[in-house]
Structure 1
Amino acid sequence: MHHTLLCATHYCPAGHHCAQVTAGWRCLHRPVTLTRRPAGRAWIPSGQLGRTSAGKGVMTSYFSSGRARTSTLAMAVAAALLPAGAAEAAPRGSTTIDRPAPATAFWSVETYPGITREQALADNQPAVGGDSPLTPVGLGWEQDARLVGGEASAFDGASSYLSASPTTLDSAGTFSVAAWVRLTDASVSRDFVSKAGSRHATLSVGYDKASNRWQVRMPTKTGKGAKWSVARSTSAPRVGLWTHVAVVHDAAARTLTLWVDGVAEATKFRVTAVNHPAGEFRLGRGDATWWRGNLADVRVYDRTLVAQDFTGWRASDPGSGGFDEPGLLRPVQVGKWNFENAIPCYDESIDDPTLCSAPDSTAFDRQLYLTQGSYVDAGRQGSVLALDGTHWIDDPSDPHYGETTREYARSQANRGEPGNPVWADAPVLRTDQSFTLATWVRLDPSRGAQTVVSQDAAGGHALRLGWEPVDGGRWTLVVPADGAGAPGGAATEATAPAADADLWHHLVVVLDAAHRQVLLHVDGTLVRTVALDAAGQPRQATGSLVVGRVSTAAGPEGWLYGQVDDLGAYQGAMSSADVAALFVAQRV
C-alpha cells in the first residue's frame, strides 16, 4: 500500500490529508466540494473543511493552479446580497478546493514499527509524480538514530548511496528538495543530494568544508566551461545534529534558495539551470563526494516551497485550500498516554505484565509502568493517572489498606514478542536532539515542591518539569548542563507563575537543540524562552521518561500529589502555533 504523508506516526493513503479531529490526527479524504444549497445563502461544506465564512455574506475560495504552488482566486460570492427569491431560484453550484500540491516523490528512508526497510525506500507518492523507488548500494541502517525504536538510513562516506529514476527531478525546471539530514563527519565536503549529469552533477546539495556551511550548487551547462550558481547557508552545520535542509529552484524567477530549519538563509539570483535527462537522482553522494551520516523524510516537489510548507498551513491561510496541513518541521509523536486503558497498580509483586500499566497509543507501543498504589481515576474528560502517596484500596480488611506508597510511572519498551511481552525500562526520546513534552496536570500545593515529568539519566536527571511553592507558586523547568543534575552544577531554568496549580493546566516543554534554547508553554501560551547554559550540551539520556518524581544523586524526590492526563512525547521542536492548537484540541 502506498502512502502520501506522515500523519502523527502513520502515513495517509493517496488522496487523503492529515487533519486534527476530536480523537487526534486522522487521515481524511480530499478534495472537498463546497455546495451552495438552493434554499440557503451560505456555502456549505459537503466534505471536511477547515473554515468558511458562511453567515458573513462572502466566501472567498482558492484553488491550486495545476500542480504548481501558485494559488488563484477562484471566486468571491456575495450570497447574502442576493434577494431571497433569487437565492431560491439559483441553480445548485459547487467548486472543488484542493490543498497545496504535495510532493511528487517522498521516501521516509527510516523504519519504525509498521514500516519496514523495503517500505522506507518505496516512493510514498507514486500516483503524483510516477513511482520512483530508491535502489540501495551498500546502505546501512542505524538503530535509534532519529526516533527511539526506529532505524535511520546510514551512509558510510565512501561508497553507500541511494538512486532513483532520472525522471524523479528535472533540475532545469521549478523544483524543491527537502530532507532531514545528520552529518557525522565534517573532515571533507560531502553531498547528500545530487542529480547526475553527463560530465558533472546538475544539482549538488550538502556540506562545504572550506566555508563550513550548507551549500547548493547548480551549473549553467553539463559540459566544459560551465559556470556555477552557489548558495551557502549563514548558519554553520553542527556534527551529529539533525537539521532540516531544503533547496528551492524557481525557474521563472531564476532564483535558487537554501532553507535551513525553515529559514531561507541564502538566495542566488539570475540562475541558469540545466538538466541531464538520463542522469539518475541520488541520495548520499555527489560526483566524487559521499555523505557520512543519516537521512530521513526526503521529499521532491515540482513547485516552490514557501514558509508555510515548513511551519504548517492553517485553514485560514490563502492558498491552503481550506485545510490544516502539518508542516515539514512538525515533530513526530513517539509517545501518547491518555490513561483510558490504564490499569491501577494493586501490588507490584504480582507477575502479570498486563497489570500496573498505561499503554501507549502510538505505533511505538511503549508503556508507562505504574508503581504500587498508583490509581486510575475519573478526570477531565475520561481517565487520568492519580498519585497521592496512599494506596487506593478502600477495603479496611485488605493488607494494603491505608498503606503509604511512593507512586510514579516510568516508560518501558517490550523486549519480547507482542504476544509474550518482556517489559524493560527504556527511554522514549532522543534527548540530544530537539524534543517536546506535553501534559495536563493538577496538584495539591499544600504538599510542597513536586515533579510533574522528568527524564532519568545516569546518576540523576536530564530534565525536570515541576511546581515549587515560591512567589505564590510557580512552574519550573530545569535542564542540567551536565545531563544528570549533579548538586551545585550549572543548569538552564525557566519559570512561570502558577498560583492556581490545584486546577487543570496544560504544560508544554520544548527543547530546541538547533537554536540551543528551551521554551515553556502554559495553557497554550509561550511564557518563557531561555538559552541553554553555555556549559551545557544536549545529551542522550538512557533512562526512562518518568511521571511523578525526579531522580537525583541523593535518590528520588519531588513526589507528585495530583493527577496527570494526556501525556505526549514528540521528537522535534513543536512550534508555538502547534502548541496552541494542541491546547485548544484537548481542553474541556
Structure 2
Amino acid sequence: MAYTYGFIGGPYGTVRAQQAGGAVTIPFLPLASGPQRLTVRAIDRAGRSSGQSAYEFNVKSGHAPVSQWKLADPAGTTSAAAETGTAARAGSGVTFAGAAPDGTGLTSTAHLDGGDQAFLTPDAPAVDTHGTFAVSAWVRPERTDRDMAVVSQGAGSTGAGLGLRRGDEGPVWSFTVAGQEVSGGAPETGEWAHVLGLYDAETGLAQLYVNGHEAGTKTKAEPTRTTDAFRIGQGSGLSAWQGDIGDVRAYDRVVVPAEATELGYRKPKSLGHWSLETASDGASPEQSGRAPLKLGAGATVYRVPDSSCLPELDPDCPVVPLPLVGDGHLQLDGETGYAATEQPVADTSGSFTIGAVVRLADAEPAHPMTVLSQAGEHTDAFKVRYQPSEHAWQLVMPVKDERGAAETVVSQIESADGGEGQGHRLAVVYDDATDQVKLYLDGVAGTSATADFPDGWHSSGPLQVGRGHTADGWGEYLHGDVDEVQAYAGALRDRDITGLGWGTDPCLC
C-alpha cells in the first residue's frame, strides 16, 4: 500500500505504509501563512488508484520570538528590557543609546567595547539547543581581524554560537552548532549586517542567513541540551564583541526564508523625485522641495502647448506629441544639454537606487549617450548609458576613483527608440549588503544585467542627467527625452522597481 500526496506549492511525493491500510506520517514545513490544501490518493499493490481525498486547512503565522531584546534602552541603563523573555543584565563594557541601522525601525542599539565586561545575559537559557531554534541580531563590527561572538549558549557538543570569524580568505560570518560550522558573507568594519543562525531538529541541518540571504552551505549537526545561560557579545573560545548590536532575537521554531528576508530588510529612503514637468529660472523643482535639477544650455522642459482644439474633432488641429509621463519631460539636444543637482544625491559607497524614463531621439546614435551619472574626482562612480556599438543600455561601475580604473559593466540589449514610443524605464541598483549591482530595463534585470561589485566608493560630485565623464572631460551628451528621475538611499527590491517611472513613488511596503 502506498500513498501519493501533494500540498499547494509542494512538496509532492509517494510514501509506503508498512502494512495494508496502515497510516504513514510525512513532515511538512509551511513556508507561508494562509490557506493550504493536502490531496492524497491510495495506491494498492496492483497499482490501482483510489479517488482523491482533500483536506483544507489554514496555516497561522509563526509565533513571536521566545526572547527578544531590542537593546534600544536609555543611556546609563544597566540592563536591557525584554520584548519577550527575561531582561538581560549588562556588563560594564556595554553602553546604550548607540546608532541604529537606517530603514529597520530600530531607534538605537547597544555598543560593546570588546573587553571582559562586554556582554549581556538573562542568566538563563533562551533556546533549547536539543530542539529547533534560531538566533539573530543586527550587528556592526568595529574590527574584523579577530574572532568575535555575537550571541552564544553553551559550548562544544551542547553549544551554539553566532559570530564573526577570521577566515583564510577574509572575515566571514559564522554559525556553530555542536562544533559544526556554517560560514559565509563578508563582514566589513563599520557596516551594519543582519545575521541569523537556524538549526532545524527535523532535518538536523544548521544554516546561516546574512542580510536576509542564505550564506554558506547547510551543515549536519547533532547538538545536545544545555542549561548554560544565553549570552550576547560573548562565546566560548571567542573574543567579546567590539561594535554595535541591536534587536537580538531567539526563536524556538524554524524561521522560514521569507521571514529571514524580511528581518534583514532595510527600507530605502527617498532622496529625490524630479518629475521634470516645469522649469523656472533655469531649474526644475524636486517634488518635496529638496534641491532642484538645474538645466544647462541645450536642455529645456517640453510641455504640450495650450490649445483649445482637439485633433480627433478638428482635422486642422495639429497633432503634438505627448510627454513621456505626466505634463512634461526634459528635452536634451545631444550637444550641450544636461541637468544636474548642485550636490551629490546618493552616497555611492552604500546601497542606492536611481531610476529614470528615457527615450533616445535617434534610431542609430552616432556615439555613446549617458542618461545618469554621479562623479567622483576623476571618474563617475556610476554611469548609465546607451552604447550604440552593442545596441544595449549599459551600467558602468569603475572599481575606484581613478582615471583608467577597471570597470564592471552590465548591459541590456535594446534598440534605440528613434524618437518613437514612450521610452524605457531604467534603474540602477547597488546593494552593499549583497555586493551586487543591477541594471533594470522596464522592470527586469536578467543575469547579464547583474554583477558582483564588492566595494562601492563615495562620490563627491552632483547627480548628472544627460552627460558623463569621458577622457576629455564632460561628454556622451544624450540626444532625447528624460523624465521621472527618482533616487533612493537603499536597494529597492524587484517588486518595487516596477513602481518607478509612473509619476508616483513605489509603496515600499
> What TM-score, normalized to structure 1?
0.57
| Residue 456 (structure 1) aligned with residue 378 (structure 2) | no
1:346 counterpart residue number: 280
CA distance in 1, matches of 2:101, 2:285: 24
Q: Is the 8 A contact 2:396 2:410 kept in 1?
A: yes
The alignment partner of 2:292 has SS state of strand
2:412 counterpart residue number: 496
Structure 1 residue 369 displacement after superposition: 2.3
| Residue 556 (structure 1) aligned with residue 506 (structure 2) | no
1:272 counterpart residue number: 224
CA distance in 1, matches of 2:109, 2:362: 44
Percent identity for Structure 1 against Structure 2:
22
1:205 counterpart residue number: 162
CA distance in 2, matches of 1:546, 1:462: 11
Pick aligned residue for 1:567 from 483, 486, 496: 486
CA distance in 2, matches of 1:151, 1:554: 47
CA distance in 2, matches of 1:375, 1:71: 49
1:170 counterpart residue number: 127
* Residue identity matched to 2:362: P
Q: Is the 8 A contact 1:259 1:265 kept in 2?
A: no
| Residue 371 (structure 1) aligned with residue 294 (structure 2) | yes
Alignment of 1:43-442 (within 5 A): 98-101=60-63, 126=83, 129=84, 137-139=94-96, 141=98, 155-158=112-115, 163=120, 165=122, 169-172=126-129, 173-195=131-153, 203-209=160-166, 213-218=172-177, 228-233=178-183, 237=187, 242-251=192-201, 253-260=203-210, 261-263=213-215, 265-276=217-228, 279=229, 281-282=231-232, 284-286=233-235, 289-295=239-245, 298-311=248-261, 327-335=262-270, 337-339=272-274, 344-347=278-281, 356-359=284-287, 367-372=290-295, 375=301, 379=323, 382=326, 386-388=330-332, 406-410=337-341, 425-429=343-347, 431-442=348-359
Q: Is the 8 A contact 1:178 1:245 kept in 2?
A: yes
* Residue identity matched to 1:511: Y
CA distance in 2, matches of 1:437, 1:160: 44
The alignment partner of 2:468 has SS state of coil
Unmatched segments (≥5 aa) in structure 2: 1-28, 40-55, 304-321, 504-509
1:58 counterpart residue number: none
Q: Is the 8 A contact 2:355 2:500 kept in 1?
A: no
Structure 1 residue 191 displacement after superposition: 1.0
Count the aligned residue pairs: 421
Q: Is the 8 A contact 1:338 1:384 kept in 2?
A: no
Q: Is the 8 A contact 1:155 1:291 kept in 2?
A: yes
CA change 1:182–1:492 in 2 (3 A) is: same
CA distance in 1, matches of 2:88, 2:301: 49
* Residue identity matched to 1:579: D
Unmatched segments (≥5 aa) in structure 1: 1-66, 78-93, 219-227, 312-326, 349-354, 361-365, 391-403, 411-423
| Residue 470 (structure 1) aligned with residue 389 (structure 2) | yes
CA change 1:551–1:435 in 2 (3 A) is: same
2:362 counterpart residue number: 445
CA distance in 2, matches of 1:171, 1:192: 18
* Aligned residues: CA RMSD: 5.0
Based on CA coordinates, which of the two structures has the bigger radius of gyration? 2
1:320 counterpart residue number: none
Structure 1 residue 160 displacement after superposition: 7.8
CA distance in 2, matches of 1:152, 1:551: 41
CA change 1:493–1:208 in 2 (3 A) is: closer
* Residue identity matched to 1:583: T
Q: Is the 8 A contact 1:475 1:498 kept in 2?
A: yes
> What TM-score, normalized to structure 2?
0.64
Structure 1 residue 168 displacement after superposition: 9.1
Q: Is the 8 A contact 1:440 1:505 kept in 2?
A: yes
CA change 1:546–1:177 in 2 (3 A) is: farther
